[in-house]
Amino acid sequence: MDKDRLIDKSIETIVSRSLKGGGFAQRQDGKFRPDATAWSALALSTGNIRGDLVENACIRLASSQFTDGRIPVAEDIENAYWPTPLALLAWKRTGGFEKEIERAAKFLLKTSGLHFPMEKNSPNGHDTAIRGWSWIEKAHSWIEPTSMAILALKAIGNAGHDRVQEAVRMILDRKLPAGGWNYGNTTVFNRELSPAPEHTGQALCALSGLVQHSEIAKSIDYLSKEISILQTPLSLCWGLFGLGAWSVKIRGSRERILNSLSLQQRYGPYDTSLLSKLVIAYNMEGNLLGLIMKNS
């Protein structure tokens, strides 16, 4: 396929996974997924495409919101509330969902992962007492859900809230000594773990505008070097998003995105969330913050 058509084809695929009742599925003929729905709404909005589907997606997300403000990954798995920040970002981008945003924000601000004083002989090198956000209720906080919660709350003007500031400290505490982040561990039994580009990009997005450049310089250096070999959509997109949040331009970023899309011929079709991230990265040239911070 002509690479100039890859983005248009990706958008067509995303649209084809829209559901009659509103929202999107992760795969063709799949069921409603709030994460796929939120990412699809954000992706389509970058090109002002199918505003009707974007609006219906946000309405469907609203219908899945619990009274306490959470958005569970599925109605029967209400304790897995990690899609809540994604829904908030989609509503913020689309506009007109102020009550839903307020409920989601209240839920996030009162919710925390499981935290406890650090034990003297703990095998973990990070401070287990600093609160962030978790994937699921009664679990420890990790980098991705914490980063997404910060992004969502930052987008609606809550960057200075004590809860957000504590989460920023949590992310900084989880930074690897050599730079970068993984899922959220630094050392285990005094052995330093390796960073991952997707988690590094997520953390850099969350910290943008909230910390000094000197505090994350090593992490930017790590990701700037790593980006040249990234091809998989998750790592590539978050790598571009993280560097873009700190105004680091990557030469040939669009060609890298098109190359990642072309790999579907070998590995099969990407899910809706991944396709959406690639479309956002292409249309926004890696500037995720420019998309989600609109009118903040």
pLDDT tens readout for residues 12-24: 999 999 999 999 9
pLDDT, the chain, mean: 95
Residue extents of the structural domains in the chain: 3-292
Instruction: Say whether pLDDT at 296 is over 70.
Output: no
pLDDT at 259: 96
pLDDT at 295: 56
Q: How confident is the model over 188-196, as a mean pLDDT?
A: 93
Instruction: Report whether 66 contacts 72 (CB < 8 A).
Output: yes
Q: Cα(208)–Cα(192) distance, rounded to whole angstroms?
A: 25
CA angle 150, 156, 162 (to 5 degrees): 50
pLDDT at 84: 98
Q: Cα(170)–Cα(118) distance, rounded to whole angstroms?
A: 13
Region class of 247: left (phi > 0), else alpha (psi between -120 and 50), else beta: left
Q: How confident is the model over 99-125, as a mean pLDDT?
A: 92
pLDDT at 3: 53
Structure confidence at residue 48 as a pLDDT band (50, 70, 90): confident
CA distances (Å), 179 to each of 150, 173, 223, 241, 280, in order? Answer: 20, 12, 9, 17, 26
Q: How confident is the model over 81-106, as a mean pLDDT?
A: 98
pLDDT at 2: 57
CATH number of 3-292: 1.50.10.20
Q: Cα(165)–Cα(157) distance, rounded to whole angstroms?
A: 13
Q: Which residue's entry shows tokens 């919660």?
A: 149
Sequence-separated (6 or more) residues with CB below 8 Å from residue 76 = none
pTM score > 0.75 for this model?
A: yes
The conformation of residue 32, written as its DSSP 8-state character, comes to: B
pLDDT at 124: 85
Q: How confident is the model over 65-69, as a mean pLDDT?
A: 97
Instruction: Say whether pLDDT at 235 is over 70.
Output: yes
Q: How confident is the model over 132-139, as a mean pLDDT?
A: 96
Structure confidence at residue 190 as a pLDDT band (50, 70, 90): confident
